[in-house]
Chains A and B, each alone.
Chain A
Amino acid sequence: MLKIGDKQFESRLFTGTGKFANSRLMAEAIQVSGSQLATMALKRVDVNDQQDDILQPLVQAGVNLLPNTSGAKNAKDAVFAAQLAREALGTNWLKLEIHPDPKYLMPDPIETLAAAEQLVREGFIVLPYCHADPVLCKRLEEVGCAAVMPLGAPIGSNKGIVSHDFLEIIIDQATVPVVVDAGIGAPSHAARAMEMGADAVLVNTAIATSSNPVSMAKAFKMSVESGRIAYEAGLAGRVSHAVASSPLTSFLDEL
């Protein structure tokens, strides 16, 4: 069973709550996905134009909340967002994300490391979203992050595991759980990450913006489970030439 910080997870599929057509669909999809950890964001309230209350259905479903620091452009913003989130949601769990550039939403490694160090000192369970950078992931681990969340591809791009070779190094080196976050666009991508030995994946856009988010949530649930079983079973090795699966391949020649 996956353990991060003080919590254990039966499901290795974490989900985002953004981009769903409505909160009812979001709650149903997350329930079907089996996810036990769902991300949320914080926004300044326009009291004249209030958002759907998405919190209640998640709490009722028993899903743990993982507030993010989306919108933070530097470490200072992120620490303030974290403090707000802790008070708003009553959890010290945090998805730390700092991306100053709105076009590619690339995580800022320097600000992320600085913020992580401070937030760990303040008692947060920090799960940083970061580039698939093996050195950075080690540094984040060393300052006390409970997991690392390197990207598969840019946020919302659905491009899959384009950072494959670097994720392999991260997974090989990590002593904290590795959650592949961002870019996973299809259940096969999630399965690939799990087969590589990722501890979990975080999926939002690929479920929320599919034609049928509830069915897609089920497909992701199955692919994550399948990928994990395959990893635990130990994938057979690759060779560059053919190796007969049947001992009788040469039978006809010997007649």
Chain B
Amino acid sequence: MTSLEQHTTQAHSLEPDLITISINDQAHQVASESNLQQIIRQFELPEMGCVFAINNTVVPHSEWGCTVLSQGDSLSLFQAIAGG
């Protein structure tokens, strides 16, 4: 992380409407009460081919909209890629 990014992160963490979550062990700031659908949009990921897991349990796509995140939540996020 560059010093500029560190500065930005610190500045953001003071904002009341942002929370810090972890996606694949990387810290990210998102709007508080974001759901998984909004995470996909925020990070410009394709809807098809992506899948979330929380505590090694797959979150069905139908539950993305109602899975609301809290400060400190830890997500695993996978995507279909090329492979043999």
- Chain A residue at minimal CB-CB distance from B56: A80
| Residue in contact with B53 in the complex, picked from A26, A41, A84, A204, CB distance below 8 Å | A84
| Residue in contact with B82 in the complex, picked from A40, A80, A85, CB distance below 8 Å | A40
On whether the beta carbons of B79 and A43 are closer than 8 Å, the reply is: yes
- Chain A residue at minimal CB-CB distance from B60: A87
Q: How near does chain A come to B32, taking the closest CB pair, in angstroms? A: 19
Which range holds the interface residue count of chain A?
A: 35 or more
Q: Count of B residues near A, CB < 8 Å?
A: 27
Contact mask B66-84 → A, CB, 8 Å, 1/0? 0000000000111111111
On whether the beta carbons of A40 and B81 are closer than 8 Å, the reply is: yes
Rounded to whole angstroms, the CA-CA distance of A156 and B84 in the bound complex is 9
Question: Which one of A14-22, A163-171, A222-230 is at the B interface?
Answer: A14-22
Q: How many A-B residue pairs have CB under 8 A?
A: 109
On whether the beta carbons of B45 and A55 are closer than 8 Å, the reply is: no
Rounded to whole angstroms, the CA-CA distance of A140 and B84 in the bound complex is 21
Collect the chain A residues with CB atoms within 8 Å of residue B28's CB: 47
| Residue in contact with A88 in the complex, picked from B26, B80, B84, CB distance below 8 Å | B80
On whether the beta carbons of A45 and B23 are closer than 8 Å, the reply is: yes
Interface check A61, CB cutoff 8 A: no
Interface check A51, CB cutoff 8 A: yes
Beyond A26-B82, A88-B78, is A45–B50 a contact (Cβ under 8 Å)?
Answer: yes
On whether the beta carbons of B78 and A44 are closer than 8 Å, the reply is: yes
Rounded to whole angstroms, the CA-CA distance of A20 and B81 in the bound complex is 12
Interface check A205, CB cutoff 8 A: yes
Q: How near does chain B come to A92, taking the closest CB pair, in angstroms? A: 13
Binding site for A on B (CB under 8 A): 23-24, 26, 28, 43-46, 48-51, 53, 56, 58-61, 76-84
Top 6 nearest A-B pairs (CB, nearest first) are: A41-B83, A16-B84, A204-B84, A88-B51, A17-B82, A18-B84
Of the A-B pairs whose beta carbons lie under 8 Å apart in the complex, a sample of 11, sorted by A's number, is: A41-B81, A42-B78, A45-B78, A47-B28, A47-B43, A55-B80, A56-B46, A84-B51, A85-B80, A87-B61, A89-B48
Binding site for B on A (CB under 8 A): 16-20, 23, 26, 39-48, 50-56, 59, 65, 67-68, 70, 80, 83-85, 87-90, 155-156, 202, 204-205
